[in-house]
Chains A and B, each alone.
Chain A
Amino acid sequence: MPFKEKIAWISVVTTILVWGGYFGFMAVTGQRMPGQVYMVGFVGAVIVQTILVVVASIVTAVLAPKDASAGSDERDREIARRAYSIAYPVLLTLIVCVAASMHLGVTPRDMAYEIMAAIVVAEIVHYGAQIVGYRSGRHG
């Protein structure tokens, strides 16, 4: 498995776990807790995901140092470009939906959380598209 695909797997799994946990907690508590709780949770989620991705990437690089130091080649760049071209419209669509939700009485604070969720979904699509690119082939 290419090193870049391993990193995409690490990123997508940690994103789903950490941010799924964060937004799941938010959905379960129905935002009944003080705003500071969600703010601390947000900062905690950023820190936890950063640590998980960095540690998992270091372990992966140590296990396959040659692959890790190989850098990107034309196939990696093509897969990355395609992944962005798929994720970007998803992000734009979700941001437009968030903007439209303003007319449904959504508060600015909720909109901020919706924008965060849109970014998380777009990132999951981005990493997912990279994985599909490496798995399926036929992208040259």
Chain B
Amino acid sequence: MATLKVKIPENTQNIEGVATIKAPLAKVFGAYTDPKQFAQWWGRGNPMKIHRFDCRDGGGWQVAEISPDGAEHAFFGCFHEVTENARIIQTFEYMGMPERGHVLLERADFVAVDANTTEIRTLGTAQTLADRDGMVQSGAEAGWRKSVDALGKLLEK
């Protein structure tokens, strides 16, 4: 199973992540840059719509995830740099926000740990601390009662 460690450093607007995937570097990079493959994992099982996916320096992307209740959650951003098997620097924002511009600038570095293990190191920077914490905790208002079950399910894995 893939592993993920997330750090939410105090006094920053950053979200840092280190994910370890049991797959070769080129395959992992391909799954990020090929829209067909991207659509198969980014939704975590939810269907995806890929409206635009111009995966190159300066290219735009816009996708939507269809949640089980049928709601469409749209996201869009810009690829700032796409360097093969090395890094993707992009912006990300949720179109459900009341105004545009609540952007996360995210850098993902892809590192081969061995022939079949890839590390993805991400550094996301939000525009404000409130934006950062909102992105980290979105859904938290669903309440602690629900949280017991969610946490339980997570820990039962």
Tell whether A and B belong to one assembly. Answer: no
**Partner-A contacts on B (CB < 8 A):** none
**Partner-B contacts on A (CB < 8 A):** none
